[in-house]
Amino acid sequence: MSKLDVLTLIRGAINAKVGHQIVCEEGDVLIPSSTGMKQFVATGKTSYKDRSTKEMITVGSLFNMVQAGIHTGTNFADYKKNPDFKEKVGVLDWMELKRYLTGEIETSKQIMNGDEVDDEGNDGKNGSGGASGSARGNGAGGASNRSGSGGASSSSGGAQTSQLLMAAERSLKRKRELIEGSGMTEEEASKCAERAKKQESSTGTRTTVLDVVQGDFSEVLAAHKAVTKSHKKSKATKAEEKNKRVPKYPIILVSESTSQAKVSMWNVLSFLQEGRYMTIKEAKQNAPPGSKEPKEHAMVHNNVTYRILPMKSTLNNKHWSDNDFSRVVGLFVDGSTWGYKKWCTKMPLVDIFSSTAGFHVHFADEKAHPNCQKWIVDKIVVDKNNRYMDAVAVEKIWRKINGFIAGKMPEYMAENWQNPHKKK
């Protein structure tokens, strides 16, 4: 199997709600699939390139992320503090991999294709494996491994393997739905899912198409009429919804990266998620070369997903509406006033900070901005020489946000929170 298969198998297992069945035994990681358990060496490398080390992360690192509960809403701080996880990825890779493995995004720039991945070394347990370790078992994975040892791999073969893997994962999903929905036994569901898989993988020819010319297509025609009728009714609605976006997540706004700002899109995640403050300049230096300021972050705190956006999102943005203003639960200010011109035409500037939790971060050896002394915002002091105080400052921020939510937006409390993108 290729290195990409490890990521695909874990993604498929999480999507099929069997991520808890991924285990590690005697240095090998076992991943469930529709064709049986696939076995990989934990020290083997995958196709995901770590941003900081520029090396491929290991299968063991992915296993640690799954064990930490990326698919159940855990946060990076808990994952990082856990002493059981010896191999940890950085916060940027954590966010990227979490979104990919849980299905929020379909691909990632950090996932290298077959030509870009370095396949040096063996897994130490069979000679045909690359650095990632070969999948071993009685299923389709073992068969593909044996055929690959003859040196006949090609780009078309890789595409075919990918298609077969996708069909296998769909078969697993069908099997689970049949067992839960119709009360079939596991053996009956397996046979039914296998038949559907074979039908899906078969290739139609001119002869097979002509064989069904005399078939009864009345049901197909009736379905076509129903779809056409429904399409005409919804055509106008779809045109209206095309440019309409109504996000359901609570929002935290941060300042632009100005000389006055202490918190921006560059350093907000390390501050709020890891409890560690670094200056905007330091955050830029630690970012990969050529990186641009992020346009949006998503982070989980107390099982609630927050969107973090820059203040410029509220200006000249056709996707930003009054609904978005009503979901702002936290606001980091640097003292400037230009960013609030389109906040709400009926709301005076001084009243904005009574409708959300406002914060002004400044260094201990500096005074707060004069404007911020007039506004209803909490002054958060960061001491350059005492890094252990960063966690205290972050705790104060979350305590204020949680108090504001409890009083004015109870739907965003942990016990009431319902993820709008989570399948019911």
- Domain ranges for the chain, please list them: 3-153, 251-412
Please check whether residue 47 is in contact with residue 111, taking contact to mean a CB–CB distance below 8 angstroms: yes
Work out the burial of residue 23: count CB atoms within 10 Å of its CB; fewer than 13 is exposed, 13-18 middle, 19 or more buried: middle
Q: Between 374 and 343, where is the model more confident?
A: 374
Question: Ramachandran region of residue 241, left (φ > 0), alpha (ψ -120 to 50) or beta?
Answer: alpha
pLDDT beyond 60 at 156 = no
Percent over 70 (pLDDT), the chain:
67
pLDDT of 135 reads 47
Identify the residue with better confidence: 33 or 169: 33
Q: Give pLDDT tens digits for 62-102.
A: 888 888 888 877 788 888 888 888 788 888 888 888 888 98
Residue 177: strand, helix, or coil: helix
Is 138's pLDDT higher than 50?
A: no
* Helix spans in 149-217 (H): 155-182, 186-201, 206-210
In three-state form (DSSP H/G/I as H, E/B as E, the rest C), the secondary structure along 66-114 is HHHCHHHCCCHHHHHHCCCCCCCCCHHHHHHHHHHHCCCCCCCCCECCC
Spatial separation of the C-alpha atoms in residues 8 and 223, rounded to whole Å: 35
* Residue 165 neighbours by CB distance under 10 Å: 23
CA 80 – CA 202 distance, rounded (Å) = 47
Both structure tokens of 379 = 């002054």
pLDDT > 60? residue 4: no
Which pLDDT score, from 0 to 100, does residue 13 have?
A: 87
Most confident of 51-55, 126-130, 167-171, 305-309: 305-309
Output the pLDDT for position 392.
92
The residue with greater pLDDT, 401 or 336, is: 401
Reported residue count of the chain is 424
Distance of CA 320 to the CA centre of its chain: 23
* pLDDT greater than 50 at residue 155: no
Q: How far from the centroid of its chain's Cα atoms is residue 126's Cα?
A: 34
> In one letter, which amino acid is 236?
A
Residue 267 confidence (pLDDT): 93
Amino acid at site 382 = V
- Quote the pLDDT of residue 385: 86
SS (H, E, C) 288-350: CCCCCCCCCEEEEECCEEEEEEEHHHHCCCCCCCHHHHCCEEEEECCCCCHHHCCCCCCCCHH
Higher per-residue confidence, 416 vs 190 = 416
Mean pLDDT value across residues 146-169: 48
> What is the tens place of the pLDDT at every residue in 380-390?
999 988 888 99
Tell me the two tokens of residue 363: 């260094």
Q: How confident is the model at residue 240 (pLDDT cuts 50, 70, 90)?
A: low
Predicted pLDDT of residue 402: 93
CATH class of 251-412: alpha beta
Q: In the structure, what pLDDT confidence band is assigned to residue 256 with cuts at 50, 70 and 90?
A: confident
Q: Is the pLDDT of residue 35 over 70?
A: yes
Closest CA to 6 of 43, 35, 34, 45: 45
pLDDT band at 375, cuts 50/70/90?
A: confident
- Please name which of 142, 200, 145 lies closest in space to residue 170, comparing C-alpha atoms: 200
The backbone torsions φ and ψ at residue 253, rounded to the nearest 5 degrees and listed phi first, read -100, 140
- State percent of the chain over pLDDT 90: 21
The pLDDT confidence band at residue 232, using thresholds 50, 70 and 90, is low
